[in-house]
Chains A and B, each alone.
Chain A
Amino acid sequence: MRPDRVMELVRALVEPLQYGFMQRSLMTAVLVGLICAVVGSYLMVQRLALLGDAISHSVLPGLAVAFVLGINLSLGAFIAGILSTLAIAWIRTRSPLKEDAAMGIVLSAFFALGVTLITLIQKNNKIDLNHFLFGNILGVTAADVRDTVVIAGIVVLVVFALYKELLFYTFDPLGAQAVGLPVNRLNFGLMALIALTVVASLKVVGVVLVLSLLITPGATAYLLVPRLHQVMLLGAAIGIVSSISGMYLSYWFNLPSGPAIVLVTSGLFFLSLLLRPQSGLWQLKP
């Protein structure tokens, strides 16, 4: 490349960083990309992708109620997310319905309640339903960044500390229960991690698209590497790369940032689906 072309590229990359809002949103997007991939890997290996969708849609009424009560919005969202997982578990134990039906019922009920509440509230307040649905990353405040750092710290720490137990539990829940691991608490902890992660992701992509950040990076990594911790690490790298490139694309071409991030991560998934060796990269020589 000619030197002036290089300078142009460097300028294009550096220019956005001089804005405070861009620094904050990039920082947030990177952290969210990281923890979504890590936590989402657990959803994927348990075939619970729909649960990620259920929890993310279910935080909406929590946001509305927290706004009315004047308490921290993230706290309200987190509580609603937890309540949704309890509601799903309750339906499952009280009926012969399978988990996916229970999730579908709870997801739509909570989401409808949330949309209704927020529509009622936004008539006389400056609160925008669209920001919750699709994210509002350019509106990230310093306090939001701080919250995200704290949540990311908690998530990474817990996954690191409980890695071997969570691996056992998610692979073979009955076997884990049989040796005396507290599987109900492990499961609840996992749900709490997912709810926390969803809450942190709201500003970046909104409730509708969180699922993409939870599932797609881990799924992409799953096509390429054979062990859970590798899926998490590669998934996190993919999540971070998607977040950064999505933000830049959004800045350069004036695209909505959440969908831009999702499009990048989806593109990477299809790329790895098409380009991986037919038998998988990890195929051992006999």
Chain B
Amino acid sequence: MDIQPAYCSLPRPGLRLVNSQFPTLKPVSISGLSVYYQQLLALDQISAEFYPGRVTGIIGPNGAGKSTLLQAMLGLIPTASGTVRFGSQTLADQRHQVAYVPQRSQIDWLYPATVWDVVLMGRVQKTGWFRRFSAASRQQARAALERVGMAELRNRPIGQLSGGQQQRVFLARSLAQEADVFCFDEPFVGVDQKTETVLFEIFHELADAGKTVIVVNHDLGEAITNFDDLLLLNRSLIASGPRQQVLNQENLRHAYGGTVSFYAA
């Protein structure tokens, strides 16, 4: 990539110190989270914190349980032990404040729906039962589509979008939700450079607005420098904290085995 996106070079004072910019906002705290898949221990006693104002990457090798951690945190799969809190309450009781974007491969993209239908889904929970979408909700959805550069394709069936466009539609859906915690499961898989740029731009905008952004990502390439914090996982927690502290040979050898090359900038 020859042109550095603006957000890479911007000094972001105050964000180096954990949670200093948004002291009143509440972190997502998981403690002692264990998950079994059939008889297999998939996650072993994970404890970690995700802070508002930070973009946190969950990284680790294939089968490390990255997506499982995200789904377990949100109560989408049964857990064997552990709690997940958002501030003083459990996260499960505050689901309306959580936007979750599943892996693209989990979705049937031949479903008969248009871009507009999918983005409006972000407003379903706020709209409530037996009501139609309000004008404000439609406005919210329109703004979200514009933000991700998909406004012109709003009437297009989702099956006719590229992978990157599909991901941006899902991003727009999560933006329309006006949540406080944003969770993305492998958003960079199979997307174009433009989409990757848009995604990171928006992640940082969200963080700068005091949101908690959690991103499952398997890639240790250059893009990893876009994360503020990292959580390195291989069934158990290897390391977590600011990116520079987590990314070192010892941690990575621990997680991946052998020598691992990563982008250290």
Contact = CB atoms under 8 A, between A and B. Distances in A.
A227 B133 CA distance: 17
Given A164-B133, A175-B101, A284-B155, 18 more contacts: A45-B111, A162-B129, A164-B124, A164-B127, A165-B124, A167-B117, A168-B124, A171-B118, A172-B121, A174-B100, A175-B100, A181-B125, A225-B112, A227-B157, A228-B112, A282-B157, A284-B156, A284-B160
Interface in A43-91: 45, 47
Interface stretch (B13-21, B102-110, B225-233, B241-249): B102-110
B68 to A, nearest CB: 12
B38 A96 contact: yes
4 shortest interchain CB distances as A-B pairs: A180-B95, A178-B100, A226-B157, A179-B125
Interface of B: 38, 71, 74-76, 95-96, 98-102, 106-108, 111-114, 117-118, 120-121, 124-125, 127, 129-130, 133, 155-157, 160, 173, 177, 183
B102 A174 contact: yes
B117 A227 contact: yes
A177 B98 CA distance: 11
B196 to A, nearest CB: 21
B175 to A, nearest CB: 14
B95 A178 contact: yes
Contacts of A176: 121, 124
Nearest to B93: A180
A230 interface: yes
25 contacts: A45-B111, A45-B112, A47-B108, A96-B38, A164-B120, A164-B133, A167-B117, A170-B111, A171-B108, A172-B102, A175-B100, A175-B173, A176-B121, A176-B124, A179-B98, A179-B99, A179-B124, A179-B177, A180-B96, A180-B125, A227-B114, A227-B157, A228-B111, A231-B112, A283-B160
Given A164-B133, A177-B76, A179-B95, A226 B114 contact: yes
A222 interface: yes
A156 to B, nearest CB: 15
Interface string A229-262: 0110000000000000000000000000000000
A161 interface: yes
Contacts of B118: 171
Contacts of A230: 112
A70 B236 CA distance: 60
A12 to B, nearest CB: 37
Contacts of A172: 102, 106-107, 121
A103 B183 CA distance: 34
A167 B101 CA distance: 16
A226 B133 CA distance: 20
A168 B121 contact: yes
A180 B156 CA distance: 28
Contact of A174 (B106, B113, B173): B106
A171 B38 contact: no
B112 A222 contact: yes
B100 A179 contact: yes
Contacts of B112: 45, 222, 225-228, 230-231
Contacts of A47: 108
Contact of A228 (B38, B96, B113): B113
Contacts of A96: 38
Given A164-B120, A178-B76, A181-B124, A171 B113 contact: yes
B96 A171 contact: no
Contacts of A180: 95-96, 125
